[in-house]
Amino acid sequence: MASVACIGECMVELRQAQGGASAGQGGGLYSRGFGGDTLNTAVYLARLEIKVDYLTALGDDALSDEMIAALTTEGVGTRRVVRLAGKLPGLYMIQTDAKGERQFFHWRDSAAARQLMNLPETDELLNSLMSYDIVYLSAITLSIYDAPGRERLFAAIKRARLLGTRFVFDTNFRARGWPDRDVAREVFAAAFATADIVLTSTEDLLALYPGESNHQLMARIPAPELVFRLAEPVSLLRFPGGTSEVRAEPMSKPVVDTTAAGDSFAAAYIAARLAGSDPVEAAQAGHRLASLVICYPGAIIPGYAMPPKKRHRPAATRQATK
């Protein structure tokens, strides 16, 4: 079975309850869950019957215990999760407006996950990457490590690619995670140069390269396979042998919460590619799942709301990068 390593951070999620805010007051009721961009992708990959491990660091507290239990229940592998004594996971809060657009507030500066590239267990963890078919991470993942940590991670990914592992990079840019945009641009360029598949959007790239056209933005990315999501529900694809435009089907339900739209798109795209679908079919699958996810509150929709399983062609044999 094809396998994926998702690298990132699992955080405590506080989500504003619908109708929970008191009139004239800034407070309200919040429900607690768990989330994080690559964590969300890992959960959706598991639900799509892809073997997936989550690589992160957590504390030795009760909340971290609950996270491990929740991931295990979802079918996400936790054997690569490092537990750190005395540390805690990060926390974020979601507020949404009447149109379902979200705003995030984070408390994560001392979170355990930030130390993942600087631990006694780090070398063993990084060496394990070559055992996976795909390594998936986002720019948010890269933003929580220091420069030497990012260098160690990129070096390990390059070694894994020599044995046939593919690297999928999701841009998912959040300015607050970076000291400045010049550092972010340098890291993005390194990721673009290493990646086999890049999943990106105008929202992410225009924040780094303002004023550039879609053509100019896409030209910055040398990866052989590129999915470029526009502001409207359309993706521009570039892959060996061609290009294509994939448009999402019209929404039949109202948008409730856009949290994890890109994360779920990534999961469906990766799952479809591993199952033998071509990039166009994979992008269609990504749009279908994302369009469903944004009809529910929070990052992870109820299990019963997942789309029916679809059979795919057998995946291509893994080949080493030359």
Strand positions, DSSP E, the chain: 3-7, 11-16, 30-35, 51-59, 81-84, 91-96, 102-107, 134-138, 166-170, 197-201, 225-229, 234-239, 242-247
- Please give the structure tokens belonging to residue 174: 């959040």
Per the document, the length of the chain is 322
Closest CA to 170 of 98, 265, 236: 265
Task: Say whether 182 sits in a helix, a strand or coil.
Answer: helix
User: How many other C-beta atoms lie within 10 A of the C-beta of residue 11?
Assistant: 24
- Which residues touch 5 (CB under 8 Å, ≥6 apart)? 52, 53, 55, 80, 128, 129, 132, 134, 135, 136
Task: State how far the Cα of 195 lies from the Cα of 187, in Å rounded to an integer.
Answer: 12
Strand partners, 102: 96
Hey, which residues are catalytic here? Answer: 263
C-alpha angle 288-314-80 in degrees, rounded to nearest 5? 75
202 φ, ψ (degrees, to nearest 5):
-65, -35
Q: Give the C-alpha separation, 186 to 290, whole Å.
A: 29
